[in-house]
Structure 1
Amino acid sequence: MHHDDRKIRNAVVKYFNTCQFNDPCAVTLTMKQRVGSIDLDPIACSRNFNQFSNRLKKAILRNSFTRYGNRIHMIPVLERSHSQRYHYHTVIDRSAHVTRNNFKGIVSDCWNRTLWGYREIHFEFDKPAGWIGYITKLSQKENYPGSIDWQNLHRDC
């Protein structure tokens, strides 16, 4: 851990806390670590999350995603556990027209249809504000600034 990581974390937490969500859901998405002879790496993680994000937007927003460019607000943060398993901690905004149970089913289906998606998915609604602090913690990050998946971050901040 570098001293600069603390400064970066403080700025990231401050920024994320300005994001507006209607009904945020804390979602942990676990990944397969190997497919065939290919090992997972952070670039493949980000590509996989992008595929998941596109599937989720199409499933929930339907035509308004492609026609009007509407987005689902989400904050993805990549971690690697002590057992070396890559996983994403995310905040995903649930659209009002989708019930919580349906949302869980749609997210699970979209994640499991990706190449690297693993069946371990954890959801928590009504998560206290501490979730942003948790997902931005300094531990379990190989490269702290690179752990925030900026390419797949969609927010209303």
Structure 2
Amino acid sequence: MTEDQRRIQKACIEWMVQHKDAFNYAVTLTLKSYRRLRNDRGQVVEQLSHFEAKRTLRYFVMRLNIALFGKAAKRFSRSISIIPVLEGHGADKRLHYHCAIGGLPENMSVDEIDAVVRDAWSKTPFGYDEIHFTCIFWPSIPSIISLYRINTSSQYLFFTASAVI
């Protein structure tokens, strides 16, 4: 790990500890490496790219917002908070996201949220059935470090959704 990567990792962990109340859940979302499409010429295989991975995550967040907040997701811009980290490129692993999620309705149980997350991910074009969903118990710093490693296999750290907090 380079010095820049260590600095980014430390800054990310410090920021997450400061905003620990905003993120209650961690989820790992695995992507398919390709998908089969039918068009007028027959069947086509579309390979997963970083662009498609980002697009799939945006679509997942949109579906999750609609499932959790209904029409208020569009009408009043209600949205979850999410920090995704894309990993797995350049390795013999599937591309996958490690995400910290917050801003979910408080009246839902963990099992209900897990079911909604799985359903929203299954409806994405590159969503693979391998999903790991868990609660984040603060201030468990070792679990944060294991979830948000910034190393050579995860070069991309970016934010989506309307607001992080």
Paired position in structure 2 for 1:68: 76
Work out the CA distance in 2 between the residues paired with 1:153 and 1:14.
22
Q: Give 1:136 shift.
A: 2.4
Letter in 1 for 2:142: G
CA RMSD in angstroms comes to: 2.2
- Maintained 8 Å contact 1:29/1:118: yes
Determine if the alignment matches structure 1 residue 34 to structure 2 residue 21: no
- Give the TM-score of the pair, scaled to structure 1: 0.84
- Maintained 8 Å contact 1:20/1:155: no
Q: Which of 52, 59, 84 pairs up with 2:93?
A: 84
CA offset digits 1:118-143 (Å, max 9, x no partner) = 00111112443433322321335252
Please identify runs of 4+ aligned residues in structure 1 that moved more than 4 A: none
Deviates more, 1:89-98 or 1:24-33: 89-98
Determine if the alignment matches structure 1 residue 136 to structure 2 residue 148: yes
Work out the CA distance in 2 between the residues paired with 1:64 and 1:142.
34
Identity of aligned residues (%): 26
List gaps (5 residues or longer) in structure 2. 37-44
Determine if the alignment matches structure 1 residue 47 to structure 2 residue 55: yes
- Maintained 8 Å contact 1:49/1:152: no
- Give the TM-score of the pair, scaled to structure 2: 0.81
Work out the CA distance in 2 between the residues paired with 1:96 and 1:70.
14
Larger Rg: 2
Paired position in structure 2 for 1:105: 115
Work out the CA distance in 2 between the residues paired with 1:154 and 1:131.
24
Give 3-state SS (helix, strand or coil) of 2:26's partner. Answer: strand
Instruction: Tell me the matched-pair count.
Output: 153
Q: Give 1:22 shift.
A: 5.7
Letter in 2 for 1:88: Y
List gaps (5 residues or longer) in structure 1. none
Give 3-state SS (helix, strand or coil) of 2:134's partner. Answer: strand
- Maintained 8 Å contact 1:74/1:153: no
Letter in 1 for 2:143: W
- Maintained 8 Å contact 1:79/1:86: yes
